[in-house]
Amino acid sequence: MTKAVVIGGSGYTGAELLRILSQHAEIEVVQVTAASNAGAAVTDLYPSLAGACDGVLYEDFSVDGVVDGVELAFVALPHGESQQHMGGLAERVAHVVDLGADFRLPAASYGEWYGEDHQAPALLTEFAYGLPELFRDEIRGFAHVANPGCYPTAAILALAPALARGLVEPTGLVVDATSGISGRGRSLSPASLFSEANETMAAYGLLDHRHTAEMEMALSAVAGQAAQVLFTPHVAPMTRGILATCYARPASAALTSEGLLDAYRDFYRGEPFVRVVGEPVPTKASAGANTVFVTPRYDARTGTVLVVAVEDNLVKGAAGQAVQNANLILGLPEETGLPTLGIMP
Amino acid sequence: MTKAVVIGGSGYTGAELLRILSQHAEIEVVQVTAASNAGAAVTDLYPSLAGACDGVLYEDFSVDGVVDGVELAFVALPHGESQQHMGGLAERVAHVVDLGADFRLPAASYGEWYGEDHQAPALLTEFAYGLPELFRDEIRGFAHVANPGCYPTAAILALAPALARGLVEPTGLVVDATSGISGRGRSLSPASLFSEANETMAAYGLLDHRHTAEMEMALSAVAGQAAQVLFTPHVAPMTRGILATCYARPASAALTSEGLLDAYRDFYRGEPFVRVVGEPVPTKASAGANTVFVTPRYDARTGTVLVVAVEDNLVKGAAGQAVQNANLILGLPEETGLPTLGIMP
Amino acid sequence: MTKAVVIGGSGYTGAELLRILSQHAEIEVVQVTAASNAGAAVTDLYPSLAGACDGVLYEDFSVDGVVDGVELAFVALPHGESQQHMGGLAERVAHVVDLGADFRLPAASYGEWYGEDHQAPALLTEFAYGLPELFRDEIRGFAHVANPGCYPTAAILALAPALARGLVEPTGLVVDATSGISGRGRSLSPASLFSEANETMAAYGLLDHRHTAEMEMALSAVAGQAAQVLFTPHVAPMTRGILATCYARPASAALTSEGLLDAYRDFYRGEPFVRVVGEPVPTKASAGANTVFVTPRYDARTGTVLVVAVEDNLVKGAAGQAVQNANLILGLPEETGLPTLGIMP
Amino acid sequence: MTKAVVIGGSGYTGAELLRILSQHAEIEVVQVTAASNAGAAVTDLYPSLAGACDGVLYEDFSVDGVVDGVELAFVALPHGESQQHMGGLAERVAHVVDLGADFRLPAASYGEWYGEDHQAPALLTEFAYGLPELFRDEIRGFAHVANPGCYPTAAILALAPALARGLVEPTGLVVDATSGISGRGRSLSPASLFSEANETMAAYGLLDHRHTAEMEMALSAVAGQAAQVLFTPHVAPMTRGILATCYARPASAALTSEGLLDAYRDFYRGEPFVRVVGEPVPTKASAGANTVFVTPRYDARTGTVLVVAVEDNLVKGAAGQAVQNANLILGLPEETGLPTLGIMP
């Protein structure tokens, strides 16, 4: 049994980590921190965790305060905070899975897209980019993992097979995606209020959303040449779920939808968390589960490849994938403790 | 491993049975029927069940068509249908858990509230009323179980401790409750359309909702004298969840909220699926879980006892409780296979 | 044309005032204040008001800063703030319609329910309680109006006819009501976030919600004797709408539902904003409109009177009623500028 | 006062026509038909119309049954039905505004995209394509109007300025759009049930949605050369609203976002129902209103033009635009009776 701490456990990804890990046979959460809610009971914020977290209180976070015997830290802090603590933390625990954006990009790319210098650039090379379906073997060789962003997980898994097989051009990629509102986290802003987010949709972050860099980095690695993505995020009135509709230019004229489906099925054969489907499914097919559904098409009329992917942004897009990565670096079976059935209706 | 059939598996309670039973170590679903969707794949209707029901097709239902070796039937048919088939079915399988209303009430009461004669009155005495927290021992002695309605489960568990301890009068009870829309099932009607049910609430079934009879039957048994309930159901724009706010007249003047909380905690001590809480929790504390949360109050100013209960109408209010009852009649540990953590946010 | 200022115009009731008043032929909003959003454009917060508020900026509020010529002030400030400014404001403008709770109750009752002394008790008698359907004539005689709360508007209009006609007892009243989330206003709290308020219901404010005092005050006036109410508020996942289900004990045994319907129709005959209906309607029948729908019942079985009322909490429950009251004190036709059709679906 | 009939008045666009026309000073609805609801009261289906439609019953439809004196027919029938009746109807009334798809496309294009021959091809040339912002003068010269589809209205208005000014290529256009669920109408299907449409998003109609033909037809007219569109529709859990995110390839390298905004502002100068905005707004900025909001961008990094448009699918995307067209063919001021303010929150 590996002892773990969840750092930043009062946000939505933190709560989802606690829910998933409570069913995990090999990882035991022995400490939960949350600076802004220190002293509160976990079940006051999330009564849904009654029975799993009874009597557990959020603690203040400090590296020194991590209890002895903890080997694994899940870090779910707001952007920019984990790089401040990572030096000490990586000395104190054997493994870190960072769910934020701090350790996903090379220093130069980080500076370019985040508009600030990285504060712990030397540590960046100690983190694997944790998208297991594409980089499983590399991840196993690292001590620490940078867990991918929610949008990148869906978009990269949607486009990777076509790029890896050379079926589409690596430039001219468009990712048009929509997230449920939990993607904004638990921080307070008028746009996240029910009354403003309900019964409405909106585009945001036009042209320069930071997740673009992550998509380009991973898709370039898959394609073996520089990929270029235009990413347009939207928000829809649902708590969970991401749907990404991706467009690409074919690399050859011989494509068909059937051929694409075959290529995708072949690419993801045996993957426990990716399902290639013949027809698009609703996002809640994966609600609460670590599953991504993908369906590709070729439109001969306009000469366009189109791929639709759906996931639960808090599970495969965050906490579930973090556990998947933890399983990998701990040498456990990759599926340990991970839910795969969605909740419908 | 007990082999089971789910009869009426294309509705929402049917789908929830399939989700829960896929995680059950002692019951294996070997057949799923759905007259209106016969021939369709389960995962076409519920892609969320991919991985658990791959390749499973809905079959037409007939008693003779139940596959050999099946010992347990979960019946989730529309009102009035299960009584037509129950004679044959109860001969063919050892155990039936009926999730509909057909076998919950005595024949006279059934006739009074449903406005029609029961078609299999002789079978009524072969069914236990399956509210385990109140009637666990009786249930174990029956071959078959009539699973309680969604509203009655919440209302009865809310009021039972106060009645059992003689703290409130058995008459003058008011149950004011609200359900998510999945309570209406998957049948098609304008009122169930998203566009008509979204962003709105409505009362319905004023004065004579049929679940009243079930509440009065069970609460009378608990109180040891005739209980009388005025039940007002409402529908709110959410898929799952029931919240019941119940009002009762105190039987003595010595009540306090703290005393009620103590009495409730004592009454439900050790129950795996009932949590007595100090403050009301949102319905989604139990989303996807077989848990009921209850909090009582005494208002000295107006001389009224108030109890709020929440549950997931499809789990503790239907499929989860059905599995709990199946565990009882099969002699399995009562908690086998049942989720207890809600999904928040 | 009466010139008006909206004080506290960045909240939801403020925005609704701006929407309604933009269609009002006799009142012109010439100034909008919002301390927390001073300097922002109204259309940045509410692009829905483009065309009506183009170029209008929120200003800081001070009594001295009210522009010359303003005769009417709508005050939509957080609880406790309007009593701080009212002395000066009531000198500077001829008429105030206060949408908050500060001037609704007598000083003693205010102190009891709000747990603090009123800071401008001498001004309390200068404000009418602005429920026009019950107190129209009194309102016309006042310079200023305290606009009723959202829950009290629904509950009082639901119970008033039965109390006024002596059909029910003034004690033992129960108001079980549910509000859309906009009732919490635009202030930031986790419970108001979409991710926490969506797909869930919750009870809150058990036993001691402050609106109880207002209901008892108005219903006592109607009944001619002390009324006593137990009020249980809930929140449902919708932006707008209040549904109140009210219970009362009959004062005589001769009641019928038909008789109650007749009495209610008679009581509200000619009222432009109250519709007595034979069946309950969904809250969104009044979405965006100043209309209340009411339906009463008598349950002979349990001896209980039940009344269901629905309204839009931001219109008849706030901004619309404020305009209705403004019309009264300005001597305008009461319906001027007020929408009466809901938006469905 | 022009007398009008609403044919197919029980669906959502029919109800929205009744709401809007009840405020119209020059058009009076004297008859409402609805085959499937004949005999029912309008206010039974839409209590929101109480006060405007009291006592009005839905009638069966026949051309002969149209009451004398009716000069204008709004036809909101399911696809394929209006072409069966149009011959007789166009003889009986002076003006028809058809809200369905039957008279929008030339016969050949209709056959290609709808997979069936048009049943009244001779009448096609008697209908203007009713997008006033682009074809106002042509519309005035016709007796009848084919009202555009909901998606095409948003997409065409989003792309037209760039194509008209030659700023983008007419091929390679991508329209990625999402609709609220009311776009599916009031017909009954599992996918439209609240429990299946809530808390989820889905893509549908991949590659071959029929609205593609309409977009290409209108955009070709604007561009002066053949336009080609790949259209991907989605559905989001909201009742109303369409958001269209459109992508195009620049025709020159000299574009900037600022230049595009200027070009769009210039193109739509003076339009009462189109607002060019600097930042994207949520769909409910136009809830209940006949307004479209548009914001364009140029992404120099990837060489892509992006335009986001939002509207209320039932108003500017259906009933509101139908009234706008009726105003045009009746020679009335184009804005008569049309709401322009959205409802927020």
Annotated domain spans of chain A:
2-148+316-330, 151-313
CA distance A147 to A101: 8
Nearest partner of A131 among A297, A271, A331, judged by Cα: A271
Residues 6+ apart with CB under 8 A from C155: C175, C177, C211, C215, C229, C231, C244, C246, C309
CB A3 within 8 A of CB A70: yes
Chains in contact with C, counting 3 or more C-beta pairs less than 8 Å apart as contact: A, B, D
Specify the DSSP class assigned to residue D189. -
A266-311 confidence digits (pLDDT tens): 999 999 999 999 999 999 999 999 999 999 999 999 999 999 999 9
Partners of B189 on chain C (C-beta within 8 Å) are none
pLDDT score, position A90: 97
- Which numeric CATH code is attached to D151-313? 3.30.360.10
> Looking at C45, C150, C217, C305, which residue is catalytic?
C150
Residue B237 has pLDDT above 90, yes or no: yes
| Chain D residues with CB-CB distance to B238 below 8 A | 198
Considering only CB atoms, A197 lies closest to which of C45, C189, C194, namely C194
Give yes or no for residue D207 having a pLDDT over 90.
yes
D297 touches chain A (CB under 8 A): yes
Comparing C310 with A254, the larger pLDDT belongs to: C310
pTM: 0.98
B28 sits in which H/E element:
strand B27-33
Interface predicted TM-score (ipTM) of this complex, two decimals: 0.97
Q: How far apart are CA A29 and CA A11, in angstroms?
A: 16
Q: Which of D343, D314, D344, D269 is nearest to D13 (CA)?
A: D314
Chain B residue numbers touching A284 (CB-CB < 8 A): 48
* Residue C233 preceded by cis peptide, ω within 30: no
Residue of C nearest to A237 (CA): C194
The nearest CA of chain B is from the CA of C246 a distance in Å of 10
D109, D169, D182, D200, best to mutate vs chain A, most A CBs in 10 Å: D200
Of D186, D195, D239, the CB nearest to B182: D195
> Among D304, D300, D233, which residue's Cα sits nearest to residue A173?
D304
**How confident is the model at residue B88, as a pLDDT?**
97
* pLDDT above 90: residue C253: no
Region A193-202: what's the mean pLDDT? Answer: 98
| Distance from C-alpha of D236 to C-alpha of D287, rounded to nearest angstrom | 15
pLDDT tens for D63-113 read 999 999 999 999 999 999 999 999 999 999 999 999 999 999 999 999 999
Partner D contacted by B247 (CB < 8 A) = no
Residues C137-146 have a mean pLDDT of 97
CATH code that applies to domain A2-148+316-330: 3.40.50.720
Q: Which of B180, B194, B199 has its CB closest to that of D197?
A: B194
C-alpha distances in Å from residue B237, one per residue of B130, B185, C197: 29, 14, 11
User: Can C150 be counted among the known catalytic residues?
Assistant: yes
**Which pLDDT does position A252 carry in this prediction?**
85
Interface with chain A: mutation pick from C45, C198, C200, highest number of A CBs within 10 Å: C198
A186/C188 Cβ within 8 A: no
**Partners of D73 in beta bridges:** D5, D96
From the list D195, D232, D308, the residue facing A203 with the nearest CB is D308
- Per cent of chain D over pLDDT 90 is 99
CB D300 within 8 A of CB D310: no
CA atoms within 13 A on the CB side of A259: 13
Rounded to an integer, the average pLDDT of A237-244 is: 98
Shortest CA gap A114–chain B (Å): 28
Give the distance from residue D237's alpha carbon to the nearest chain B alpha carbon, in angstroms: 8
Whether residues C188 and A188 touch (CB distance < 8 A) is answered with yes
**Gap from B208 CA to chain C (nearest CA, Å):** 9
- Cross-chain residue pair A190–C193, CB shorter than 8 Å: no
With cut-offs at 50, 70 and 90, classify the pLDDT of residue C181.
very high
* Angstrom distances, CA of residue A177 to CA of A152, A192, A205, A206: 10, 18, 12, 12
Confidence of residue D252 (pLDDT cuts 50, 70, 90): confident
Per-residue pLDDT, A253: 79
Tell me the CATH number for domain C151-312. Answer: 3.30.360.10
* Contact state of A203 with D238 under an 8 Å Cβ cutoff: no
Q: Render B117-140 in DSSP notation, one character per residue.
A: --S-GGGGGGEEE--HHHHHHHHH
